[in-house]
Amino acid sequence: MIKPQIKERSSNIVLIGDFNPHIFQPAWFVSQKLIGIQEGESAKVEIVHSDLAIFSLEWLRLEVTRTRLLAVTRDDRFHEILKDLIVGTFSILSHTPVRMMGINNTWECIINDEETWHNVGHRLAPKDIWNKVMDNPGPVSYTQ
């Protein structure tokens, strides 16, 4: 079987809890030494509000609402640093209630033909276990 080529890999951490979005801005991360001064100064701030904060660094996109934090990196060099940033943040904000956490990795692959696509799918999600609970399990479409 031909090995699919990975086009993009991303990692994200999702936290569900009680957050104060207004705290989550580049200046705070700089003041806590969680990011560098230059990173903080070059951050692209979309919004900082009591209900929503969104900003991006070269390697990070951070979105925070009152109930959810989403931190995403699409740069392979920063997957471990993403984890360190979140651990560092909530070590400082140790009294912030966090009820749930998800750590997700996504790979976008280039697959050049439908047969290879099906072969990858059969290996990742064998149909025989799904046949017991679904009629005709499998993907709906293939786009090249």
Residue 143 has pLDDT above 80, yes or no: no
CA dihedral 72, 89, 14, 75 (to 10 degrees): 20
Angle at 99 between CA 96 and CA 102, to 5 degrees: 110
Is residue 52 within 8 A of residue 70, CB to CB? The reply is no
Check residue 61 and give its pLDDT: 98
CA dihedral 112, 116, 118, 124 (to 10 degrees): -110
CA max distance for the chain:
56
Q: Could you give all domains of the chain from N- to C-terminal order, each with its CATH number?
A: 5-105 (3.30.310), 111-144 (no CATH)
Check residue 2 and give its pLDDT: 62
Residue 144 has pLDDT above 70, yes or no: no
Is residue 127 within 8 A of residue 138, CB to CB? The reply is yes
Residue 48 has pLDDT above 90, yes or no: yes
Residue 1 has pLDDT above 60, yes or no: no
Check residue 119 and give its pLDDT: 82
How is residue 127 annotated by DSSP?
H
Q: Please tell me the pTM assigned to this model.
A: 0.80
Is residue 68 within 8 A of residue 90, CB to CB? The reply is no
Check residue 140 and give its pLDDT: 66
pLDDT in tens, 76-122: 889 999 999 999 999 999 999 999 999 999 888 888 888 888 888 88
pLDDT in tens, 7-40: 888 999 999 999 999 999 999 999 999 999 999 9
